[in-house]
Amino acid sequence: MNNYFTKEGSNHKKTLLTCLICASLLSLCSCSGNSPVQTAGSSSEAQNDNGIEQVTLKVWAEEAAFDTMNEMIESFKEAHRGEAEFNITIEQNLDSKTKDVILGDVHNGADVFPLPDDQLSAMAAAGVLSAIPNQEEVSAANTAESVAAASINGVMYAYPMTADNGYFLYYNKKFLNESDVSSLERILEVCEEKNKEFSMEFNSGWYMYSFFGNTGLELGLNDDGVTNYCTWNSTDNSIKGADVVNRMMELTSSPAFVNRADGDLPAALASGKIIAAISGVWNSTDVEKAFGSDYGACKLPTYQVAGKQVQMASFTGFKMMGVNYYSEHLEWAHKLADWFTNEQNQTLSFEKRNIGPANKNAAASDAVSKVAAIQAVIAQSEYGKLQRVGNKFWTPCVEFADNILAGNPSHLSAQKMADNLVKEITASVID
């Protein structure tokens, strides 16, 4: 097998402890200096009695993806028949836990694994991701947004796989028309009139961002790659932080506004009470089953704050395939990750699991264009932002939202609530 990788030097002569420290403390600029490609050590490559290389690879995936992934693995083996003897296994791992699991034991982690785009920075900084060798080819095949999400300072550290890891509005056309779903106020009004529910996971920073995102108030990751900047308490903007907080308290006080964990939505739909919900494509099958012929999906509504009608924002997200830098069969691991994410297999993932592809050709198909949930993701993406926040963001958002949902029992002013939230979001990671 031709080895087209070049071995990176000193950056990866680090202990696992150093990798973990890098994940928390290195800036993204530090990982930009890494060589984009590396070499697998040939000394570990075993051969069978016929002189054929024996390749053992471990793949992580969520259980729901096992059948589809196994089909891809079999086609990969067939495509490379005679080149190697493959032993490729799948182990269950939640995509949301990939970073934490692999940084906990990188040398025993999977060779190939899916990851959400928001985990990419920390994993690249820690040196556990092997940057892709065929960047130009992969970049040309996938959407610009998915390539950007997989890249740091122009270097691609993973293979784009999906372009639908965002959220939007589901609605029941029996009760709500296109005009109704254009504003959150009207949705809640209809729900109240008909004794129905609007559902969202309000006490999650991921969803709560929708109220702040398009107001002119800012949130993002500092250059250190781990701490946040946030102006959600600003008093200088035309829309002040306190304005947003006050409006959030007013909206959530509606009896029709139900805070519900996103994972609980499928079961809750059975009650027939929910006629509008903010969620993502992963719940599309359950929502469509519940709403039947009245099933609808669209971008998020607007909401009124400080006398303005503001389009609700969203975090946009992508999933991708990463390759473990420490894989004993690095070149084959890259070939497999590339195979999992090619046009053929992104199309298969759509056909089998209704997953929105990042591949340009797969995404342009007539079949994809007919899926309402995927088209809603695309429509909302115009008003979305890549999720790039440090770990200090999530817990403060939960506490802030829970206080609002509880009716602000301490009777804090809206400005004080915003100040406290920003203080916690922007706190140092070394306390």
Does 372 map to a domain? no
50 and 154 in a single domain? The answer is yes
Specify whether the backbone of 163 is left (phi greater than 0), alpha (psi in -120 to 50) or beta. alpha
CATH number at residue 185: 3.40.190.10
296 and 329 in a single domain? The answer is no
Tell me the residue range of the domain where 102 lies. 10-164+318-358
177 and 95 in a single domain? The answer is no
Does 3 map to a domain? no
Does 375 map to a domain? no
417 and 288 in a single domain? The answer is yes
| pLDDT for res 391 | 84
192 and 306 in a single domain? The answer is yes
| pLDDT for res 185 | 98
Blockwise average pLDDT, block size 10, the chain, 431 residues: 40 42 40 39 54 93 95 98 96 94 94 95 93 97 95 96 94 98 98 98 97 97 90 97 98 98 96 97 94 98 98 96 97 98 97 93 94 94 91 96 97 98 94 61
Half-sphere exposure of 17 (CA within 13 A, CB side): 0
Does 286 map to a domain? yes
- Give the end-to-end CA distance of the chain in Å, rounded to a whole number: 50
Half-sphere exposure of 387 (CA within 13 A, CB side): 24
Does 378 map to a domain? no
183 and 250 in a single domain? The answer is yes
Query: Nearest Cα to 306, choosing from 234, 241, 210, 352?
Result: 241
| pLDDT for res 430 | 78
Structural domains in the chain (count): 2
Does 16 map to a domain? yes
184 and 332 in a single domain? The answer is no
Degrees (nearest 5) of the Cα angle 89, 90, 92?
Answer: 150
